[in-house]
Amino acid sequence: MAYLFTSESVSEGHPDKVADQISDALIDNFLAFDPESKVACETLVTTGQVILAGEVKSNTYLDVQSIAREVIRKIGYTKSEYMFEADSCGVLSAIHEQSADINQGVDRASKEEQGAGDQGMMFGYATNETENYMPLALDISHALLIELANLRREDTEIKYLRPDAKSQVTLEYSDDNKPQRIDAIVISTQHDDFAPEAEMLAKIKSDLVSILIPRIKAKYPQYAHFFNDNITYHINPTGKFVIGGPHGDTGLTGRKIIVDTYGGKGAHGGGAFSGKDPSKVDRSAAYATRHIAKNLVAAGLCDEVLVQVSYAIGVAKPTSINVVTYGTSKVNLTDGEISKVVENVFDMRPYFIEQRLKLRNPIYSETAAYGHMGRTPETVTKTFQLPNGAPKTVTVDLFTWEKLDYVDKVKAAFGL
């Protein structure tokens, strides 16, 4: 029997994502000037206020207020009527030094034996139902909000948009787990107060269906055939969304971990990513398991896969590696046997993950909105500024865990 599956996304202006982006901007600035920085930084945003808290071990000093304000400005909170504005909000820092008890378990005389920054389990997932090996419902949910943000910044076709927004896509799947069509789309977008409520709602719904949806179909032609005339649209279903962003809801780092990963497909170990340097395996090992999963599916080993890894704090070697192929494996091996081969192909000790994926670079701001997985790898040049110091320009590789650079090794290991 056919079934429905739903995933959601949130925009860069969503309060939780504002917090994530500030935390990751701090990570990038610390790593730009001291690649060995150890950072765990949490951000809280609310009406007119930003509060930074966390632990840092670094040889550099940052103007955290300026960094936070620049992030807020870039997102689009630049008007006083938003009740949260880049130049006028308060920024309070309660960042202090990292615990020596934790640090002694991570730093070792031999870098290769660097211990995991925490215990826990991390998951990576991949499926061949999309070109980027991501779940389709999440991919479309992200696309809707990326394009909505583009429309807001263009300020030509739709002129009333504000930064906060959420989306949700429900897909109908066939008995053999293949996506067939979009059943429902939910979009809630913050907006100016420009007309009586009923008139505003009608205008917003009309614009999103007639302007946003055609742009999605044109920009993502691989998804166009999933759109149909029977989609149920819920556009701003409360009727009005003028009060939003951190003024409407308090935002916290790390509260959108399913949006950040696979939209409810696969599994999640529970650890957030943003605000953590790569010694924290919550982040680095989640990227590494995605890298494994994507390369396994791209190599043709299976159609869908979930990879789990787990660690003990201060211990380099994982306590377990597990691969689940959901019965889609193309080789004559059990999932347990596949796991053993994967363990030999991918070194999952924290130091080797950092080296393989180039994680001690300032690459994290770009991850903090619209998902950490399924993104396009690229090389970019970025410039950072210390207080009273000269600018520093660095060239870095983004989204290295999305590279299909281990496909040949996987094929060789499994005889594909």
Residue stretches of the annotated binding site: 14, 16, 42, 55, 98, 164-166, 240-241, 249, 255-256, 272, 276, 280
As annotated, the binding site for ATP includes 14, 164-166, 240-241, 249, 255-256, 272, 276
Length of the chain: 416
342 in Cβ contact with 296 (< 8 Å): yes
| Rounded Cα–Cα distance for residues 287 and 395 (Å) | 20
As annotated, the binding site for K(+) includes 42
| Rounded Cα–Cα distance for residues 281 and 268 (Å) | 13
Residue 163's SS3 state is strand
167 in Cβ contact with 9 (< 8 Å): yes
Q: Is 239 buried (19+), middle (13-18) or exposed (0-12) by CB count in 10 A?
A: exposed
As annotated, the binding site for Mg(2+) includes 16
- Between CA 381 and CA 387, with CA 382 as vertex, the angle to 5 degrees is 155
| Rounded Cα–Cα distance for residues 216 and 225 (Å) | 12
DSSP state of 210: I
Strands (DSSP E) along 193-319, which ranges?
232-235, 251-252, 304-311
Which residues, listed in sequence order, are joined to residue 185 by a DSSP beta bridge? Answer: 169, 233
Q: Is 105 buried (19+), middle (13-18) or exposed (0-12) by CB count in 10 A?
A: middle
Sequence-distant (≥ 6) Cβ neighbours of residue 327 within 8 angstroms: none
| Rounded Cα–Cα distance for residues 322 and 140 (Å) | 29
As annotated, the binding site for L-methionine includes 55, 98, 249, 280
> Which tokens go with 110?
């031999």
| Rounded Cα–Cα distance for residues 38 and 284 (Å) | 13
67 in Cβ contact with 29 (< 8 Å): yes
